[in-house]
Structure 1
Amino acid sequence: MRNLFLVFKTDMSEALRSKWFLVYSLVFGGIIALFFITGITESRIQGFSGLSRLLLIFIEICIVIVPIFILINTVRTIAGERDSNILEYMLSFPISLKEYFFGKLLGKLFSVTLPIIGALILALFWSLFKGATIPWGIFFYYMALIVSINICFLGLSFFISSIVKTQEVALGIAFFVWLFLLALIDLLLIGFLIKTTASPELVYSIALANPLQVFRIGAIALFDPELSVIGPASYFILDEFGKELISIYCLVYPAVIGMLFSIFGYLIFKRKDLV
């Protein structure tokens, strides 16, 4: 456990000094600052105002930005250290493969989550300063959603990094996965539904296997418990899950997927040639 903490601490120190962490922090901090400047927290659209209005827009941005930022900036972790011989140097110390792998994983999780949580806390303090009503339940649930989706894509990223040999291949696979989950899967499911006689329930079930889609539904459910914006699919989701269960599912499912991918990645990592 001590060695795992040392690997975690080393990775965090490297991340805090890196340019990608600065850019990542500026992106989310800049988005929140832009919202303040444009007065979004003081506007009311479709019944949402204050911090609720800000979170509603921030969610839509996170759906696109967070997965690709995590994949691009962490998928090269193991493959990159193998290429640069850092992995060989690290393993010359008395640390186990498990301590190295999961120490790196926890370090990356902390570094990719910190800027987003920091931006949300900044928004919270600004809303308190302005005297706006704080939807505490929505705020903390959204923070948990962010951590869950970060675990999901970070586990997927480490899995990809464990199975490839070069950074270029890792980046290519990561970009394809992001594009597939974000856009292609919806188009493919719509085409599949049109071209075949498959039941809509089957298509909806496949869609709910997409962690990015699950994150989107969980985020929508914060502000629209009836899920009216997603059309007929809301009837299937609410009938099968119910409002409370779908909230739990959206929170737990991405995290479980990420943990499974991280375990699979570790099993592959310890069986492959390390250098």
Structure 2
Amino acid sequence: MSKYMREAQRICLEEVYTTKQPHTEAHHWQPKCLGGTDYKSNIFHISTENHFKVHLALYYHFKEVCDEYTMGKMASACWMMSGVSKRVMCTTEEYVEIRREHKISAAKEMSKTMKGMMPAKDKGGNIVHINTNDPRVFSGELKHHSVGMSTYWNPDSNEKVYCIIEDKPEGWIGTEPGYGVGNKNNNVYDLSIDKILEMSLVVILKHGRIRKPGIIRQLIIDEYDIKIPSDGLGYRVKEPKKYLIKWLENLTGWKYEPYFRSTEQREKISKTLKEKNVKN
């Protein structure tokens, strides 16, 4: 028995006999992905923190004694234990730091393990890893085992809800003051496409021709002193050029070449924007 297996065994047995936890999780001593059962003799009820530590110990144990396929399964199990989705948060500083460090170090291992693979749920409810080109994926027989979830916020009532993305309540947004798009006073910016394009236009006029959307995004951050999360303003700024031509044609009423190739063009657009602001 390796030192890692002994450590996993010690944690399970000590907690069972000495610890009373308000919340426990069922740990399968013989992993289900390696043929373990749901019989009581194969299950230990341990805390969230110790559940992670046991999986970490088993990960290193199987890394020494298993083939690449089995190792991939254990890496996946340990990776899932590193997350906090729907889990009871533990505030123990040591545990939080260990989990954070492991999640970073395990990322490369998971990348190799899951390349070309996806987790799916079969008819019996078991989670299996299959190739994304498997005929059962294309036929719809096997689908990804989880659905897209997100947290939404009601700007009127300050309520929050965690739900399937497709079930997002009407009028709710994924940005909350102080955590999403805002300035130093935490004022949430209008996320309409017109506002985003106007920001894009200002930085393009100021800095000239810009080829990469990522640079436009960074210039907007610097210009307006705002935060742009990946799920907020970011995805709309990512490719503003695809909306920019039509927006400017509607605004100015004349055709132009994209990316403002001449000084004359930039001056005309600047003049039109100033006149528009004066009227407003």
TM-score by length of 2: 0.19
**In proportion to residue count, which structure has more strand?**
2
Question: Of the two, which has the highest radius of gyration?
Answer: 2
Query: By percentage of residues, which structure has more helix?
Result: 1
When the two structures are superposed, what TM-score results if normalisation uses the length of structure 1?
A: 0.19
Of structures 1 and 2, the one with the larger relative CO (CA 8 A, separation 6+) is 1
